[in-house]
């Protein structure tokens, strides 16, 4: 059995001719797949029953399903998604007054082993296929409409996995998501976050992508970054700065730094000064300062509020465009760095669970 979604429109046209059908049937099938996001060939009701049966003999649609959803007291919804081969990933719908944001995953697990991230303690099982990523987004879009009466306004690739280590599938997924035949979302409303793969950041520039880029920085010196992010040993800050400048030169797209504050590790004024110096070497639009969300596997802690405010005030005094980002969905482990793909049997207070079954 073949995945019907891997067939291009010309291939579907050839298939229709082989099956003795008019060529225009191919466009109908293609629309069912990428405009109506059909979950099964049987749903393609403008095709004859005989044609649907013929297609079902050789093809299938491996649709991603919501296994469980958890609802935070702040409105955030975390989903455990089941893939066709029984692997799981997690994704999050984050509602605010102005935005409906989908935080999506791109890999089952992760290979980068960042010390502060729950996903980093999971093995990387495999890359997500591009059609699975599209399913992930369409499911969150349906959920957004159902619960909040609004379509998704933004997508951030900040869930499980490193998007740039699944480059081809992420690029193809974004192509489908932004296509007028698909969700028709502006690429300017999509942000791809990377832990820092210099070679692939340059590739983004060469490919002339139109979406935004975020660098998960979290430390502004190689010594400290090596300690919490092993990827920095092969993708050091000098190379990343050069790659980011190359990306901006080629695309002019917005670049954001993500910086989680860890108590007594990267939260001093000296650390803030290191961040200012790095910020001035890259045409970054914004620095998101993120409060740390503790995980069981790591011993890092969140700094005291006065330390956070002193850090922010120093950045502002140096004319750094910085924003303090309060985490959402902490009560259901849906906040930044907490996606661990665990079973949702034990829920935190204030959260509720709903099964898709």
Question: Does residue 230 sit in the same domain as residue 331?
Answer: yes
Question: Does residue 210 sit in the same domain as residue 274?
Answer: yes
Prediction pTM value: 0.91
Question: Does residue 48 sit in the same domain as residue 142?
Answer: no
Question: Does residue 49 sit in the same domain as residue 167?
Answer: no
How does the average pLDDT of the chain come out, rounded? 91
**Residue 133 clears pLDDT 60, i.e. is over it:** yes
Question: Does residue 30 sit in the same domain as residue 134?
Answer: no
Question: Does residue 26 sit in the same domain as residue 96?
Answer: no
pLDDT band of residue 41 (cuts 50, 70, 90) is very high
Question: Does residue 272 sit in the same domain as residue 337?
Answer: yes
pLDDT band of residue 119 (cuts 50, 70, 90) is confident
Q: Is 336 a catalytic residue?
A: yes
Q: Where are the beta strands (DSSP E) in 57-183?
A: 59-60, 65-71, 77-82, 88-95, 100-103, 107-108, 126-127, 154-157
pLDDT score at 356: 41
Q: Give 310-333 as a DSSP string.
A: HHHHHHHHTT--EEEE--S-GGGT
Question: Does residue 114 sit in the same domain as residue 36?
Answer: no
pLDDT score at 353: 42
Q: Is 77 exposed, middle or buried (0-12, 13-18, 19+ CB in 10 A)?
A: buried
Greater model confidence, 265 or 347: 265
The active-site residue out of 90, 136, 162, 258 is: 90
pLDDT band of residue 309 (cuts 50, 70, 90) is very high
What's the whole-number mean pLDDT along residues 258-282? 97
pLDDT score at 349: 32
Going by C-alpha positions, the residue among 324, 352, 353, 330 that lies closest to residue 261 is 324
Residue 146 host element (H or E): helix 130-148
Question: Does residue 156 sit in the same domain as residue 19?
Answer: no
**Residue 346 clears pLDDT 50, i.e. is over it:** no
pLDDT band of residue 242 (cuts 50, 70, 90) is very high
pLDDT band of residue 350 (cuts 50, 70, 90) is very low
Question: Does residue 40 sit in the same domain as residue 91?
Answer: no
Q: Give 82-117 as a DSSP string.
A: EPTTS-EEEEEEEE-SS-EEEE---EES-SS--TT-
pLDDT score at 340: 65
pLDDT in tens, 64-111: 999 999 998 889 999 999 999 999 999 999 999 999 999 999 999 998
What's the whole-number mean pLDDT along residues 174-192? 95
Residue ending a domain, among 22, 39, 60, is 60
pLDDT score at 351: 38
User: Residue 324 sits in a domain of what CATH number?
Assistant: 3.20.20.70
Hey, how many other C-beta atoms are within 10 angstroms of the C-beta on 30?
Answer: 19
**Helices and strands counted in the chain (H then E):** 10, 15
Question: Does residue 31 sit in the same domain as residue 139?
Answer: no
Question: Does residue 50 sit in the same domain as residue 96?
Answer: no
Per the structure, the count of domains in the chain is: 2
- How far is it, in rounded angstroms, from Cα 5 to Cα 83? 15
| Under 8 Å between Cβ of 209 and 253 | yes
- How far is it, in rounded angstroms, from Cα 97 to Cα 38? 31
Name the token pair of 169.
């599938």
Q: Domain range holding 221? A: 65-355
DSSP label at 6? G
Residue ending a domain, among 16, 31, 60, is 60
Residue ending a domain, among 12, 39, 60, is 60
User: Residue 6 sits in a domain of what CATH number?
Assistant: 1.10.150.530
């Amino acid at each position: 059995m073949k995945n019907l979604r891997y067939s291009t429109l010309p291939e579907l046209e050839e298939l229709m001719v082989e099956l003795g059908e008019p060529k225009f049937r191919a466009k109908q099938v293609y629309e069912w797949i990428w405009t109506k996001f059909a979950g099964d060939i049987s749903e393609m009701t403008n095709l004859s029953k005989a044609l649907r049966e013929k297609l079902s003999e050789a093809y299938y649609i491996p649709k991603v399903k919501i296994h469980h959803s958890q609802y935070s007291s702040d409105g955030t919804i975390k989903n455990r998604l089941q893939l066709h081969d029984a692997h799981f990933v997690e994704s999050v719908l984050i509602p605010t007054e102005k935005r409906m944001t989908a935080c999506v995953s791109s890999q089952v697990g992760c290979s980068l082993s960042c010390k502060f991230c729950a996903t980093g303690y999971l093995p990387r099982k495999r890359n997500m296929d591009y059609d699975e990523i599209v399913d992930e987004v369409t499911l969150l879009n349906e959920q957004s409409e159902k619960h909040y009466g609004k379509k998704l306004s933004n997508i951030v690739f900040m869930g499980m996995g490193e998007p740039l280590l699944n480059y081809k599938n992420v690029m193809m997924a974004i192509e489908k998501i932004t296509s007028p035949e698909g969700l028709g979302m502006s690429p300017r409303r999509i942000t791809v976050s990377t832990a820092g793969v210099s070679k692939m950041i340059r590739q983004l520039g060469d490919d002339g992508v139109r979406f935004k880029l975020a660098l998960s920085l979290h430390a502004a010196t190689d010594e400290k970054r090596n300690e919490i992010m092993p990827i920095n040993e092969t993708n050091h800050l000098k190379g990343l700065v050069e790659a980011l400048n190359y990306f901006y030169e080629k695309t002019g797209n917005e670049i954001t730094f993500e910086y989680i504050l860890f108590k007594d590790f990267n939260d001093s004024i000296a650390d803030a000064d290191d961040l200012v110096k790095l910020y001035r070497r890259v045409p970054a639009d914004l620095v998101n300062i993120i409060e740390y969300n503790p995980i069981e596997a790591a011993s890092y802690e969140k700094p005291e509020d006065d330390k956070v405010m002193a850090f922010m005030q120093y950045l502002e005094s140096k004319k750094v465009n910085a924003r303090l980002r309060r985490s959402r969905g902490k009560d259901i482990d849906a906040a930044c760095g907490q996606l661990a793909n665990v079973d949702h049997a034990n829920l935190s207070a204030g959260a509720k669970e709903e099964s898709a079954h």
